[in-house]
Structure 1
Amino acid sequence: MTRTFHALLTSTAVIPLIVAGSASAQTNSSPAANQTAAAQTPVGDPLPASAPASDPQADAASDIVVTGYRAALGSAQEVKRNSDSIVDAIVSNDIGKLPDNNAAEAISRIVGVTVLRYNDEAGVILVRGLTDVATTFNGREFFSAEDRVLHLQDFPAGVAAGIEVYKSGTPDLIEPGLAGLVNLRSRRPFDVKDTEIAGEIRGSYNDQSKAFDPSGNLLLTKRWDTPIGEIGALVNVSYVRTTYRNADRYADSAVITPRGFGLDDPADDIHVTTPGVGNFNFPANAGNFYEKGIRHRPAVNGTIQWRPSANLEIYAEGLWQAYRGNVMRDSFNVNFERRDANGVAPTLSNVVLVPGEADKAASFTKTGGYVPEFSRVAQDDRTDTYQGALGFKWKTGRATLSGDFAYTNSRYQATEIAVDSQLATAPTINVDWDARGSAVFDLGGYDITNPNTARWRGYNQREFVAKGDGIQGRVDLDLETDWGFLPHLQFGVRASDRNASSQNNSRYAYVAGLDIPLASLPTGALGMITDGFRDDPQRFQNWLAPDRNAIIANSEALRQLAYQSVQRATILFPNDAGIRDAVTKYATAAIPVDPLGGFTASEATYAFYGQGKFAFDLGGIQVDGTAGARVVNTDGSYRGFSRVPASNGTTAIVPTTTRQNYVDVLPSAIARIRFSRQWQVRLGYTQTRTRPGFGQLNPSLNITANSPGPDGSPPQFDASGSGGNPNLRPLTSKNYDATLEWYFSRNGSASVAAFYRDLDGFIANYTQVVNDPIYGRVQLDRPENAGKGRIKGLEVSMQTFFDFLPGLLSGFGVQANGTYLDGTNALPQVLGGDDRQVQITGLSKWAYNLTGFYEKGKVSTRLSYNWRSGYTTSYNRTINEDQYAGELVRPVSRLDFSASYEPIKGISIVANVSNILAQPFKNYRYYNETQYFGRDLRVEGRYMSLGVRFKM
């Protein structure tokens, strides 16, 4: 699914919405607060309680109202200082204060957090090198239709008040993943004094898409004192549109050699005419891939809080968030191995090898062989997610009872149409395999602008729908005791019931053998596509394609033409089963339902936790913390269909159902040792786990019996297949944490964190050989639990404003952090060898953030630099099938700038520039243990925005 992140957030600090030092912040805190103003989320499993702050500097200045970056940094460090857990986060200090274009970009500046970006937005979040992050909204589960997680990019402007990253959990939290838990917190009406109207209108420009996009949000909130108590109401409306355009040139991950390519028949070899050149390696394909899209993200959320008495609060809240995407994908692929329609292999000439590297191609010229292929895909997709919740908090005597109950419903739908094409004849291709990191090529003197050179190759239609809904509820009890060393006992229960389903239907009509001109399709005249390269050496960048809107408007006419064409093709190719299947599927306007594309799941969880909050003096040193455990029972049922060989030589579709029921016991103990008002240490031990995804648990299998060889010899495997794996177990981790923290001023602090994770059960797709009693020796590709692993690392962070400097210089501030990670896990055995420990995918060994602030009077500015070292994205078998080799990403860096100026109180002019450096994404693929080719070079957009923010 294509997604974008947009939420109004500021600072890379920690939790609260409050203005540091404001007297009203405490009295207006939300009903979660047996915690301080640091944790104002009343919904979901409660956030860890916080001990009172003990800094006399802060107490002495409590009557001073501080705003802006100083407020965010100061209140953030107090929360981190007083939290029961190890927490970092970002905070929206005020409505519309935005140092980043979206939530995910902001969260990437937190120490220990990195993100993976695609199509100009940050998507996957990694905490301490792991993607297995649990996510919640206001402390409760919030999921999209097709998976378990909250997507930050689907929360547009104004929804978020803060995002907390829990790196060590406590038993009262919904069970964290291996990496921890990320909680997005929304705004509440009791967070303000009285009445507030605030919002922002902004326009953005992308230098690749050349498009201007609007965004805005409006928040209305008010509090009333009534005869039945205090009532607060809030409504927030938000809309964000973004237009992106990325350009990618690539070389294939499959690496081949010209000789020996045709197994044992020299006649099948690729012809090489360059004298003196022996066998050598090169990628099987090279090409261009462009994606352009428009994302629309509207959202509405509202909250009502009612405080009938000082000891009781009741609330209701609702959220609708939506996504609408219009996407176009263009690709042009040149193949260097396949034969032409007459079975003649290509010829390679002018071969140049890389100096100093054995048998590695630098460049060559290809003639003959298979014609280049190109495609245009039009996709429309949409998501609608709703959540409604009711909750309360009641304090009576020594007991505080709270509860939260919610219903969530989400639906995602995508429609995709692809017009595939190819050139009428094979042009001469000149290719260089390493130009600034990947392949570049040209088509010699071929006239790519001539419509008569383009042929229709095929037509594809796809419809995908994923739905999910669920109910959840929790009740928590906090008891104050008379025991000096154990002032609080806390207990809670939680239950949830979740349903999920998906259906994927598709059909493809292959018509290349009919020699149909592309220009004859009912989509009108062909046009030259636009690329998104920026000062790039790629020599071939543009080609002809039908208009995107014409493809969608004429989809039924294209379907009818495809139906007529595959009927003709059955006469020319009577033995082609795929063409016969297409005749059946294209006979109706609606795509036939594919039982193999359907999957449903039902999953219930029941949790109980108990923990104690301890506090005592040890020789004048204050020690406090929490200790307890969370027990979770998971009961799931997963249903799908499998295609298996039948006894008569045909295939059969059979329903498949499986169940899982297991119990997790997750202990936790975290202590804080305060040596003085400025220095403290934390020590923690926790256990966490992450459930497999619903798609991974799909019990469906697609098994195909293998045929004997041409000489009648038996196949190497009796059958081959793919599918999900209902036998997957949760990923588990034992976590050890220690921090040293120094708070030297109101908004100045420094900390060092060390951690170790003992991991087991990473899930990835692997090809295994299974001895099945029915189907024999099956080569099966499906998700599997890998072996054990571990991560160890260090995090260092500091922040301060230079208030001691004179005059204008006192407006400068700085924030910096760095992370070191060392993590490995075991891959499956290769050809009977030992399990191999490799670097965990997605993990960068080094990452750091540097941010400079200037805030004085009416001016606020921020310049942020973010860098992470290279990382591995996947491991695959080498061309010899006896080793693993990886695909890696080059180091990634970004520079972003934001500024605001307040000419009139309550009205500010805001400006942002994101991805100033605009450095391309680059990755590369090893094809043996020591040699590699560049894979993708992707050029991403640079965003500039200007807007007006107001608050009344």
Structure 2
Amino acid sequence: MTDNNKRTSTFTRKKLPHYIRLASGASLLAMGAAMPAFAQDSEADDAALEEVVVTGQRLSIMSAQDIKRDADQIVDSIVASDIGKLPDRSVTEALQRIPGVSITHFKSLGDPEHFSAEGSGVMVRGLTMVRSELNGRDSFTADGGRALSFQDVPPELMAGVDVYKNQSADLVEGGLGGTVNLRTKKPFDYDEMELSFTAEGNYGDFVEKTSPSGSALFSNRWAAGEGEIGVLLDFAYSEAATRTDGVYTRALFPREDLVPGETVYVPRGADWRSYEFDRERQGAYGVVQWRVNDTTEMHLQVFNSQYKEFWDESSIFVDNWPYDIVPAAGTEFTYDENGIFREGELASVTGGIPMGAATRFQDRQSETTDISYNLKWNPNDKWDLSFDLQHVMADTKSLDATVATGVQLDSLYVDLTGDRPQMRTDADYLSDPANYYMAFTMDNRTDNEAEETALRLDAEYKFDSEVLRSTKFGVRFTDTSSENHDTGYDWQPIYQQWMRWWAVDGMAPLPRANADQLSLNTLDNFYRGDGVHPGVFMTPNISLASGFPQTFLDLHQEAADSGNYLCCYGPISVRDINDDAYSNLQDENTSAIYGVTYFGWDDLKYPVSGNVGVRVVKTEMSTEGNTIYPTAITDLDGNQGFYREAQPLAVDNSYTNVLPSLNLKMELNDELQLRFAAARAMSRPAFGDLQAYQVLSADLPEGTELADGPSLEDFILTADLFDNPKLDPTLADQYDLSLEWYFDDAGGMAHINLFYKDITDLVSREFVQEEYNGWSYSVARPTNNGEGKLQGAEVGLKKFFDQLPEPFNGLGIDATYTYIDSEMNLEDISQPVDTDFSSYAELPFTGISRDSYNFTAMYEWGPISARLAYNWRSKFLMGVGQNGFNGDTNGQWRLPVYNDDYGQLDASIEYRFNESVAFSLQAINIGNAETVLIADQNAAGDHKSSYVNDTTYIGRVSVNF
């Protein structure tokens, strides 16, 4: 792949419209003779043939079309000019244009409270078990997983992205859903010196910030004393800022005490939040390529990607026991015909609705560096040999800090009759700092490092046979180590309502917060003016969160010195991230051997070609960590329990997998080909699930009212973080049938692909009772206890309408559609339980939309190039019992949470002043698409939460020499 600004494709065919006859450099790809459609032209017609130079979007599609048509597997691709011209800010967002690929718009599927305007979480055919590669080699982010966070990678450094939908023996194992390979440029991709620059500004209309971006590329090649040497350097820098506002209701609970003789469903309350996000992304890439002679070539590549993100959030959320809710004095709730709450003013039998008002701060920094060397040697016409050596280093550091106040509301009005929840309460009361108390602090820190060395040797031998084409075989060895430090989420109360009577004075109000430590949050332009909310509330100063750890220590010390505690609470100590108790060490070694044979029958009526092979891979791993016990707790009788010094853990595990594969291609005619593929694929568990790191907790049940204080038996003993170093990989037997129609060599093709996956050894968590230090804990441990089936179809069409009269013959379309049906069988603690304790039918796989499509309208005419792209996906399951959607903090009720149907419209237009200078405009999220979450309840029905974010405008100047 090459950069679209200089690279072109030259081929001979009938005279084409002038919008693709743009002379702008030498050719990249010789397309050969005339298209089949013109095979019977007369000699007179041949005289009208001319050489034309293809550029722009058509070249991008033609290049991707050639990759798909000639590949040994089922592959879909995007080339660099697509990534540059699609209105997408990251590789992740560009990938969603490929059939079968989808993304989410949250920080993760497991965190529906934190929206991400820039897409995250790439899934191929609905599965998150996707292998990520950089130039065919391992690449990863040190975040506990095995994949690269694609949003961390500058798209400006990419030559193309290939998505492999099925396996062959020579592909590295690990992609159960598929393999995403990011390809960078090389100096021999260019015929001469290349020098290019871009500069752009990004404006978010909701956050009202402008952020800069830019890139630069230099490439050249020279004749050396022996052979030829090329050097390429590529740099990219980008910033972005977004804002997201969200409103949502908590779960509805069955109540038999509100309407005589009826069961009605009433919400626990409602929350709202505003979230601002800033990120900085930079990358550097360099390669030296040396073609020694006709038989020997080598290259050395260095790739570095750095990503920094910072976000802060203001939120106000319910903190009450759901069965305390009653109508405010003198009011009544309204219900629909099924007894489900529609609107009303919520109050509490305890005299007030406890709410929390929090300021949260997160800072994350990631870096990945890849150094690789490759040598190719073709000693004769029979043998091709390759040696590849790679070293990857990755690290991630993060701080997540929250400081929250508490406030007792007399009432909260909630209206669920519209498209989104609407809330209001007494703004004057919320704006008075005297009504607030300091409620809690919470922090989490991570410091992860990982590195891998990989060695690969490949050889291919070509046969002198009409059937057997060649055989390819090789070995691959990896040595991966990671050191992960994670303090867990350390929630520490300052003052809580449940402390009354035994920890603080039960008659007096909770101590007032220091007004100097609070800020008035007016939520300006909240929800773009469409969301009803209280208008103002007080949150802790952002400096209290960002000042961790000292500000946390000071807040708890101030409370301890105040004399307000009757017993049991006082200063805290901050968890030391360098303490071995919070560390986990992992080592993994893999060794793989493979063989694959390529064959074909050209003399058949319908020529057949393909490959059959097997890959055998052995995985050995060891991990070291600790079991962390709860903080020492002393009850009013002086009994102390639970605490013990951290206990070390060390676990070894190994397994061997045999992975056969078959790929067949039948050429039905010059334009039509049929493919069949069958393979066994594997995906190793995430490093985060393999940790020997266990954190035990002792918590009082939510809603507990203890006038005399707790005894040790009152505490619920659970495990916050329990992983399983003995996990095995997830396996899938998978089949593909694909029909591909290449009806136009100048960018026209269509395809339909049917696929099926039979999946075993899925990882899910299940409850077991285990004893630690003489106490029985309920432990949620991941195990290979699940299985599932996934089937579906992908359809794609690309076409330019050359037959239309000028200027409409510059129009084209790129359309894809994906259908997925899935079912899974898990013995999982995350099986949903409604607030009336009813169960649910079988759930789909997490993250899978049944229907999704992408439609892009393209136009090129002279110097103008434009796209209008709409991407849509149907409702999909985000998870079960996630934060904010549990019935209570102890997980007694667990609701399934879905992301509702979502569609987003983006656009771009470029004008080329000449061969060297171009200007483009992009608009992302035109129309301010709303993201809606659905908490699925049986009798209570669905209730919705809602998020809105920016429309982003990008202006870009490109210069090429």
TM-score (norm 2): 0.85
CA contact (8 A) 1:9 1:162 kept: no
SS where residue 73 of structure 1 aligns? helix
1:159, distance to aligned residue in structure 2 (A): 1.0
Q: Does 1:608 align with 2:593?
A: yes
Q: Could you tell me which amino acid in structure 2 is paired with residue 865 of structure 1? A: Y
- 366-375 vs 799-808, which deviates more? 366-375
Change (3 A) 1:322 1:453: same
Could you list the per-position Cα deviations for residues 735-777 of structure 1 after superposition, in whole angstroms to 9, with x for gaps in the alignment? Answer: 11101111111111111111111111222334x2347699687
Q: Could you tell me which amino acid in structure 2 is paired with residue 621 of structure 1? A: Y
Could you list the per-position Cα deviations for residues 366-417 of structure 1 after superposition, in whole angstroms to 9, with x for gaps in the alignment? Answer: 2533432101122222112211111111111111111211111111111233
How far, CA to CA, are the matches of 1:834 and 1:618 in structure 2?
60
| % identity of equivalent residues | 26
Tell me the equivalent position of 1:383: 366
How far, CA to CA, are the matches of 1:697 and 1:853 in structure 2?
47
Instruction: Note the 1:542-691 alignment, pairs <5 A.
Output: 542-548=536-542, 550-551=543-544, 555=548, 558-559=551-552, 561-568=554-561, 572-574=565-567, 576=568, 579-580=569-570, 583-585=571-573, 591=576, 595-617=580-602, 619-643=604-628, 649-652=641-644, 653-691=646-684
Change (3 A) 1:716 1:366: closer
Change (3 A) 1:38 1:306: same
Q: Could you tell me which amino acid in structure 2 is paired with residue 162 of structure 1? A: G
Tell me the equivalent position of 1:417: 401
Instruction: Note the 1:815-826 alignment, pairs <5 A.
Output: 815-826=814-825
Instruction: Note the 1:22-41 alignment, pairs <5 A.
Output: none
Could you list the per-position Cα deviations for residues 652-704 of structure 1 after superposition, in whole angstroms to 9, with x for gaps in the alignment? Answer: 32111111100111110000000111111001101101111111112333446
How far, CA to CA, are the matches of 2:235 and 2:192 in structure 1?
19
Instruction: Note the 1:242-253 alignment, pairs <5 A.
Output: 242-252=240-250
CA contact (8 A) 1:433 1:440 kept: yes
Tell me the equivalent position of 1:455: 437
- 62-71 vs 753-762, which deviates more? 62-71
Change (3 A) 1:109 1:369: same
- 523-532 vs 295-304, which deviates more? 523-532
Superposition RMSD in Å: 3.7
Q: Does 1:123 align with 2:133?
A: no
- 480-489 vs 327-336, which deviates more? 327-336
How far, CA to CA, are the matches of 2:732 and 2:346 in structure 1?
52
SS where residue 619 of structure 1 aligns? coil
Could you list the per-position Cα deviations for residues 778-835 of structure 1 after superposition, in whole angstroms to 9, with x for gaps in the alignment? Answer: 5322323342211111111111111122221111111111111111111327799999
Tell me the equivalent position of 1:112: 100
How far, CA to CA, are the matches of 1:749 and 1:527 in structure 2?
54
Tell me the equivalent position of 2:72: 84
CA contact (8 A) 1:698 1:725 kept: yes
How far, CA to CA, are the matches of 2:840 and 2:402 in structure 1?
42
Could you list the per-position Cα deviations for residues 595-642 of structure 1 after superposition, in whole angstroms to 9, with x for gaps in the alignment? Answer: 553222111111111000111136322110111011111101122111
Could you list the per-position Cα deviations for residues 822-852 of structure 1 after superposition, in whole angstroms to 9, with x for gaps in the alignment? Answer: 1111132779999974311111111111111
How far, CA to CA, are the matches of 1:373 and 1:535 in structure 2?
23
CA contact (8 A) 2:117 2:949 kept: yes
How far, CA to CA, are the matches of 2:50 and 2:485 in structure 1?
58
1:926, distance to aligned residue in structure 2 (A): 2.0
CA contact (8 A) 1:204 1:945 kept: yes
Tell me the equivalent position of 1:392: 375
Of 894, 901, 911, which aligns to 1:891?
Answer: 901
Tell me the equivalent position of 2:532: 538
Change (3 A) 1:841 1:246: same
1:279, distance to aligned residue in structure 2 (A): 4.1
Q: Could you tell me which amino acid in structure 2 is paired with residue 84 of structure 1? A: D
1:532, distance to aligned residue in structure 2 (A): 4.8
Tell me the equivalent position of 1:156: 154
Change (3 A) 1:715 1:256: farther
Q: Which runs of 5+ in 2 are unaligned?
A: 13-26, 40-45, 107-115, 497-503, 505-509, 633-638
Tell me the equivalent position of 1:364: 345
- 563-572 vs 862-871, which deviates more? 563-572
CA contact (8 A) 2:295 2:379 kept: yes
Q: Does 1:486 align with 2:449?
A: no
How far, CA to CA, are the matches of 1:111 and 1:258 in structure 2?
46
Change (3 A) 1:743 1:716: farther
Change (3 A) 1:883 1:144: closer
Q: Could you tell me which amino acid in structure 1 is paired with residue 910 of structure 2? A: S
Of 719, 726, 734, which aligns to 1:721?
Answer: 719
Tell me the equivalent position of 1:330: 314
Q: Does 1:946 align with 2:955?
A: yes
1:358, distance to aligned residue in structure 2 (A): 3.6
Instruction: Note the 1:128-277 alignment, pairs <5 A.
Output: 128-146=125-143, 147-252=145-250, 254-258=251-255, 276=260
SS where residue 492 of structure 1 aligns? strand
CA contact (8 A) 2:424 2:534 kept: yes
Tell me the equivalent position of 2:481: 499
Tell me the equivalent position of 2:446: 464
Change (3 A) 1:864 1:300: same
Q: Does 1:405 align with 2:389?
A: yes
Change (3 A) 1:347 1:100: closer
CA contact (8 A) 2:101 2:125 kept: yes
How far, CA to CA, are the matches of 2:67 and 2:411 in structure 1?
65
CA contact (8 A) 1:764 1:784 kept: yes
Q: Could you tell me which amino acid in structure 1 is paired with residue 265 of structure 2? A: N
Q: Could you tell me which amino acid in structure 2 is paired with residue 308 of structure 1? A: V
Tell me the equivalent position of 2:915: 905
How far, CA to CA, are the matches of 2:178 and 2:235 in structure 1?
30
Q: Does 1:920 align with 2:925?
A: no
Q: Does 1:66 align with 2:54?
A: yes
1:713, distance to aligned residue in structure 2 (A): 13
How far, CA to CA, are the matches of 2:547 and 2:684 in structure 1?
44
Change (3 A) 1:862 1:833: closer
Change (3 A) 1:21 1:154: same
SS where residue 840 of structure 1 aligns? coil
1:876, distance to aligned residue in structure 2 (A): 4.9
1:216, distance to aligned residue in structure 2 (A): 0.6
Q: Could you tell me which amino acid in structure 2 is paired with residue 654 of structure 1? A: Q
Change (3 A) 1:90 1:242: same
1:727, distance to aligned residue in structure 2 (A): 2.8
How far, CA to CA, are the matches of 1:909 and 1:750 in structure 2?
32
Q: Does 1:749 align with 2:754?
A: no
Change (3 A) 1:704 1:107: closer
Could you list the per-position Cα deviations for residues 269-309 of structure 1 after superposition, in whole angstroms to 9, with x for gaps in the alignment? Answer: xx85xx65844223324111221121011111111101111
Q: Which runs of 5+ in 1 are unaligned?
A: 1-6, 12-16, 24-35, 40-50, 260-270
CA contact (8 A) 1:9 1:106 kept: no
Change (3 A) 1:124 1:623: same
1:57, distance to aligned residue in structure 2 (A): 7.1
SS where residue 57 of structure 2 aligns? helix
Change (3 A) 1:18 1:8: closer
Could you list the per-position Cα deviations for residues 539-596 of structure 1 after superposition, in whole angstroms to 9, with x for gaps in the alignment? Answer: 3244233553x4467556634532422433687232x3xx35xx2505xxx8475655
- 372-381 vs 640-649, which deviates more? 640-649
Q: Could you tell me which amino acid in structure 1 is paired with residue 786 of structure 2? A: G
Tell me the equivalent position of 1:265: none
Of 300, 303, 307, which aligns to 2:287?
Answer: 303
Q: Could you tell me which amino acid in structure 1 is paired with residue 682 of structure 2? A: R
CA contact (8 A) 1:519 1:525 kept: no
Change (3 A) 1:882 1:791: farther
Q: Could you tell me which amino acid in structure 1 is paired with residue 130 of structure 2? A: V
1:467, distance to aligned residue in structure 2 (A): 1.1
How far, CA to CA, are the matches of 1:730 and 1:181 in structure 2?
16
Change (3 A) 1:625 1:560: closer
1:68, distance to aligned residue in structure 2 (A): 0.6
